[in-house]
Structure 1
């Protein structure tokens, strides 16, 4: 045994040398500083351990999951009385839920009881997140059953290629479990043409022919990066009350218009720990029809967990025990920041981005911006040595490459 003070000192020592993600000189991959409200709200759950397995174990903390989901559904444009969400372990967890929901929806309940016996396909762009392999693997579908769709010069999904693949699979009678649309890639902030994809699915798989959804592809939107642009819903772009610079305002409106098409999805993944400035980790998967999701994924309860309250997600979630820290952090973030908090931060990032590109990159002949047309959060640039310098040594070259890689990340 050891005294608490000694244990805590040893614990503090483990953080020595760790990067401080809040420091302005740290260039990290989508790890923002967490806001104070989220930090404190999440810490409360470490003391009282609310478990959102069902209402009795979570008590009123369960409201944070339901209220946050309703706020997001409203931002998306879904019916808040029908849509819902579940907090889970990161963007990969959201993706996993989306693929499982898609498989059960497309292949029917028998796939849950007797296993997946059909080589259904998951279609995703070449720029899609690598967790496409995790999800197809862990659901038992198999990593060979996702199909990469070509991307265009903007890094978005090539709709012509997608359409040809979908029509070919449809003609062959091969089930398409899901079409995954990336709504804002990490670097290029590419947004896949989800509206056109919805029209294609509705044309080839009309609802009247698939009233129970069996055989119909589900559209999952991987919006873990792009979702927060939805907070510009209702913003008066002409009046521009927050005073964004004209070129920044144009990028903001472009981003919002692109991400707002996420309304056409059946399920959506959102990360608060990325573009929500919340504690790590904090992710929610949203579904357009929560009742259908519950029906498809429900399972018999245990002998000691009865439905004693009206909220019992433990009957259909992947996790049984689920910490309330995720939903508490997200709920506190939304309450604390509101519309204008998100808008100010998102627009402020673009203001700084344009400053970097205009004042540093364009005025420095050895620096080249390689994604000048992108309107997202990331500026990718390359640094070259000035012509006429002596040839670098091996050590110099190694250092230059390290710096270059860090800039790209």
Structure 2
């Protein structure tokens, strides 16, 4: 459904709501958050962050020894630490839209600081005290948002989204092969199933687990919007189960990094249930969903689109309402990777892996004799014997709890809607440019992927893109595509960092699959609008740099 640019205007109700949430939770205001008055932090915030200079890291590179003496006169942070922070990436800049990273909110910063001072280790209740209950409370809240039964679900904070996906694979293996924790997987035949559009951790984790990747991993095709192809999935799964080959884990994606594709989790669940029933499969595949980026969409599970209390504009409201069945489908997953450190506005690292059923953690339990120096009757108070980590810091849990409970659903809805409306606004602008093709334009999310072509009076970007998608063999037409890619790449480098700081991607799209199931990848550019500070005017400036009269072959 196409909309005019005017329909993407922000409503007064939304602008008021956005300004309120931003001023209260994202402004680094010392009147609301006194810690920002700490002298070194106040000075650092006042000076701002700067791009790297050629000599800005020279002193750090020269440092090789620890000082012999204590600095008893110190009343502030070491100068080189402040310098390193000053020349780090500035995620508070409204132009920072490179990837799925954003500036953390004030409550999350303070929550993480609180945990750093308290220093609990969540792996064991004796080392964490009531912090264990704070993690459990947060898990119940997230379970409610997903649609899990909060009395049956569980979860653990872990060290990044890759660990979350690792838990998903490991859970499937332990369910399928209960003795694998002691005896390994040697001699076991199985197939892991994931999507071609999934995050790279979907593959690197399999290497960590010792999987024979060429022979034990089946990558399912994706459609033109990079969503899992359900027909190919059904064919792949049924073939495995018909031959009696176990499928420990099916790994899906709820918001791909480059085009924000959301797999149909409910349909995958239904296909899996029917296949298991048909072939009398003794152990069902474990369905894990990588929702590291896309999970905040669950804030709209029960949103009243008719009342529209936060004032969504019409194009975003209509798309979001259409997407609602996919969002609610997340409850059919057996486990889910959730990164608060991305669209949750919490500092690194703040990753949570959710499990639909508490009893699943029994599959991950190790021999209790390994844990002889812990009080046996207290090991059940945490997931000590089931975690990959021997230590679990609490900064992620505290930061996430503070963000979730201070912003609330309304605050999250507002900031997520801010991202979505920015993304849809950019798509609408790009679609008016005769030399630009928006890739997966129907996907709703913070990510916008597009491809620029060398302007010409006869250029038809839709026809050109369709032609690219039909190619498989090297020849003149692929040479033509390479030329367009080179033009776009050079133009990207020519304006890089001058307006929106976008990112170059080697595979925003692909060709159709040939009869061998192979395809070629098509490069392009992307912007990811997680940034709470990016406004329409910054997007307008970026669009100006892409107008046909501005798009000249860079020298």
* TM-score, with structure 2 as normaliser: 0.67
CA contact (8 A) 1:83 1:289 kept: yes
Matched, 1:374 2:443: yes
Helix, strand or coil for the counterpart of 1:220?
Answer: strand
Matched, 1:248 2:366: no
CA 1:330/1:142 → structure 2, altered by over 3 Å: closer, same or farther?
farther
| Whole-angstrom distance in 2 between the partners of 1:247 and 1:230 | 19
Alignment partner, residue 273 of structure 2: 202
List per-residue Cα deviations over 1:347-385 (Å, max 9, x = no partner).
122222233333x43555555433432211112234556
Alignment partner, residue 391 of structure 1: none
Matched, 1:259 2:330: no
CA contact (8 A) 1:282 1:326 kept: yes
Alignment partner, residue 372 of structure 2: 303
CA contact (8 A) 1:179 1:220 kept: yes
Alignment RMSD, CA only?
Answer: 2.5
| Whole-angstrom distance in 2 between the partners of 1:59 and 1:207 | 48
| Whole-angstrom distance in 1 between the partners of 2:226 and 2:383 | 37
Pick aligned residue for 2:114 from 29, 35, 44: 44
Structure 1 range deviating more: 174-183 or 15-24 = 15-24
Please report how far the alpha carbon of residue 106 of structure 1 lies from its aligned counterpart in structure 2 after TM superposition.
Answer: 1.3
| Whole-angstrom distance in 2 between the partners of 1:385 and 1:206 | 53
Matched, 1:236 2:312: no
Q: How does 1:217-228 map to 2 (within 5 A)?
A: 217-228=285-296
Please report how far the alpha carbon of residue 205 of structure 1 lies from its aligned counterpart in structure 2 after TM superposition.
Answer: 2.1
Alignment partner, residue 343 of structure 2: 275
Alignment partner, residue 248 of structure 2: 177
User: Where does the alignment leave 5 or more consecutive residues of structure 2 unmatched?
Assistant: 1-68, 458-486, 497-501, 505-524, 528-555
CA contact (8 A) 2:146 2:298 kept: yes
Please report how far the alpha carbon of residue 7 of structure 1 lies from its aligned counterpart in structure 2 after TM superposition.
Answer: 6.0
CA 1:398/1:319 → structure 2, altered by over 3 Å: closer, same or farther?
closer
CA contact (8 A) 1:282 1:330 kept: yes
Helix, strand or coil for the counterpart of 1:99?
Answer: helix
Helix, strand or coil for the counterpart of 1:230?
Answer: helix
CA contact (8 A) 1:182 1:222 kept: yes
| Whole-angstrom distance in 1 between the partners of 2:173 and 2:331 | 21
Alignment partner, residue 220 of structure 2: 149
Matched, 1:119 2:237: no
CA contact (8 A) 1:101 1:297 kept: no
* TM-score, with structure 1 as normaliser: 0.90
CA contact (8 A) 1:54 1:311 kept: yes
CA 1:193/1:370 → structure 2, altered by over 3 Å: closer, same or farther?
closer
Alignment partner, residue 400 of structure 1: 491
CA 1:2/1:399 → structure 2, altered by over 3 Å: closer, same or farther?
farther
The count of residues paired between Structure 1 and Structure 2 equals: 398
Helix, strand or coil for the counterpart of 1:275?
Answer: coil
Q: How does 1:356-375 map to 2 (within 5 A)?
A: 356-358=426-428, 360-362=429-431, 364-365=433-434, 367-375=436-444
Please report how far the alpha carbon of residue 148 of structure 1 lies from its aligned counterpart in structure 2 after TM superposition.
Answer: 0.6
Structure 1 range deviating more: 309-318 or 93-102 = 309-318
Structure 1 range deviating more: 286-295 or 73-82 = 286-295
Please report how far the alpha carbon of residue 61 of structure 1 lies from its aligned counterpart in structure 2 after TM superposition.
Answer: 1.2
User: Where does the alignment leave 5 or more consecutive residues of structure 1 unmatched?
Assistant: 389-395
| Whole-angstrom distance in 1 between the partners of 2:314 and 2:193 | 38
CA 1:384/1:329 → structure 2, altered by over 3 Å: closer, same or farther?
same
Alignment partner, residue 472 of structure 2: none
CA contact (8 A) 2:255 2:262 kept: yes
Please report how far the alpha carbon of residue 233 of structure 1 lies from its aligned counterpart in structure 2 after TM superposition.
Answer: 2.1
Alignment partner, residue 286 of structure 1: 354
CA contact (8 A) 2:98 2:526 kept: no
CA contact (8 A) 1:272 1:330 kept: yes
| Whole-angstrom distance in 2 between the partners of 1:383 and 1:296 | 48
Please report how far the alpha carbon of residue 27 of structure 1 lies from its aligned counterpart in structure 2 after TM superposition.
Answer: 2.5
CA contact (8 A) 1:52 1:322 kept: yes
| Whole-angstrom distance in 2 between the partners of 1:76 and 1:305 | 34
Please report how far the alpha carbon of residue 5 of structure 1 lies from its aligned counterpart in structure 2 after TM superposition.
Answer: 5.3
Which protein shows a greater Rg? 2
CA 1:27/1:283 → structure 2, altered by over 3 Å: closer, same or farther?
same
CA 1:323/1:202 → structure 2, altered by over 3 Å: closer, same or farther?
same
CA 1:245/1:305 → structure 2, altered by over 3 Å: closer, same or farther?
same
Helix, strand or coil for the counterpart of 1:18?
Answer: coil
Alignment partner, residue 234 of structure 2: 163
CA contact (8 A) 2:226 2:440 kept: no
Matched, 1:188 2:259: yes
